[in-house]
Amino acid sequence: MTKAERLIGEIKKLEDELDKHQNRCKHPKKHVTKTHGASTGNYDPYEDRYWTDFNCSLCGKGWTEEGSK
């Protein structure tokens, strides 16, 4: 096994551990920031979009929810 292959394996293991940690986190409200976004003013108003980007400072997880205001 090459050093690169070993490092890739270690990175994968750490990514899996982080994923488990983030999925167990309850994302307490006081640790979550929200950033609202929108794409409006389109020729067809049905193409307008609204979303919210969330980020938890406890676990580092970031996610987006469509249609949030």
Q: What per-residue confidence (pLDDT) applies to 68?
A: 53
Model pLDDT, residue 41: 78
Token couple for 40: 């409006």
Residue-level pLDDT at 35: 95
- CB distance 24 to 39 below 8 Å: no
Using alpha carbons, list the distances in angstroms from residue 33 to 24, 29, 39, 46, 67: 18, 8, 20, 28, 17
CB 53 within 8 A of CB 45: no
Question: For residue range 12-50, what is the model confidence (pLDDT) as tens digits?
Answer: 999 999 999 999 999 999 999 999 998 887 788 777 889
pLDDT of residue 61: 98
- State how far the Cα of 47 lies from the Cα of 11, in Å rounded to an integer: 40
Q: What is the pLDDT of residue 31?
A: 98
User: If we measure between CA atoms, which residue out of 28, 31, 32, 25 comes closest to residue 52?
Assistant: 32
pLDDT, mean of residues 2-11? 98
